[in-house]
A = this chain, B = another copy of it.
Amino acid sequence: MRLTRAGEYGIRCVQHLARHGKGTLVSRKEIAVRTDVPPHFLAKIAQQLARAGIIEIQQGANGGYRLLRDPSGITLLAVIEAIIGEISLNDCVGRPESCHNSPLCTVHLIWNKANQQLRATLQEADFATLAKEESCCLTPFPETAGHKEPIGKK
């Protein structure tokens, strides 16, 4: 019941790009360092974002990534689902046929409602708004950003 790291990383990537604005080329390395994401992992995530039409990848020397759309036209939901697929809080939400009971199931209805509500909330959040204030993943002192401490251990 939790977003994967890949999803979280995808959001960080887009948010960093959003701060530079639509069309600005930013190197993978800069994004990786500033958002604390393993560079090779970021490459994979970027490919998914590119396939979803959110970013464009420029190869070669001085390559990098750029936003294809205006930040105001990119929602949190779009980015997340580009990475992890359509959100489905319970198996039967996305695939009702996975449970023979779903046509009669009152719990199923609750899950459908909750799922739709969650997706709506994430759809309301666009990256123009999100980037307005200083936010996600701006490491205060880039030169000292060791980014090797594990992000979260209990």
> Which residues from B are CB-within-8-Å of A130?
106-107, 110
Please give the number of chain A residues whose Cβ is less than 8 angstroms from any Cβ of chain B in the complex.
Answer: 46
- Add 8 more A-B contacts to A107-B125, A113-B121, A114-B118 (CB < 8 A): A1-B2, A101-B135, A101-B136, A104-B133, A104-B135, A110-B122, A117-B117, A118-B118
Chain A contacts with B in 87-146, Cβ cutoff 8 A: 87-91, 95, 98-99, 101, 104-108, 110-111, 113-114, 117-118, 121-122, 125, 129-138
> Which residues from B are CB-within-8-Å of A129?
106
> Which residues from B are CB-within-8-Å of A88?
1-2
Q: How many monomers of this chain does the complex have?
A: 2
Q: CA A121 – CA B121 in complex, angstroms?
A: 13
> Which residues from B are CB-within-8-Å of A114?
118, 121-122
> Which residues from B are CB-within-8-Å of A121?
110, 113-114, 117
Q: Does the CB pair B89–A2 fall under 8 Å?
A: yes
Q: CA A88 – CA B15 in complex, angstroms?
A: 22
CB < 8 Å neighbour of A91 from B105, B110, B152? B152
Q: CA A98 – CA B108 in complex, angstroms?
A: 33
Does A8 lie at the interface of the complex (its beta carbon under 8 Å from any beta carbon of B)? yes
A132's nearest neighbour on chain B, judged by CB, is B106
Q: Does the CB pair A106–B2 fall under 8 Å?
A: no
Does A76 lie at the interface of the complex (its beta carbon under 8 Å from any beta carbon of B)? yes
A98's nearest neighbour on chain B, judged by CB, is B152
> Which residues from B are CB-within-8-Å of A95?
152, 154
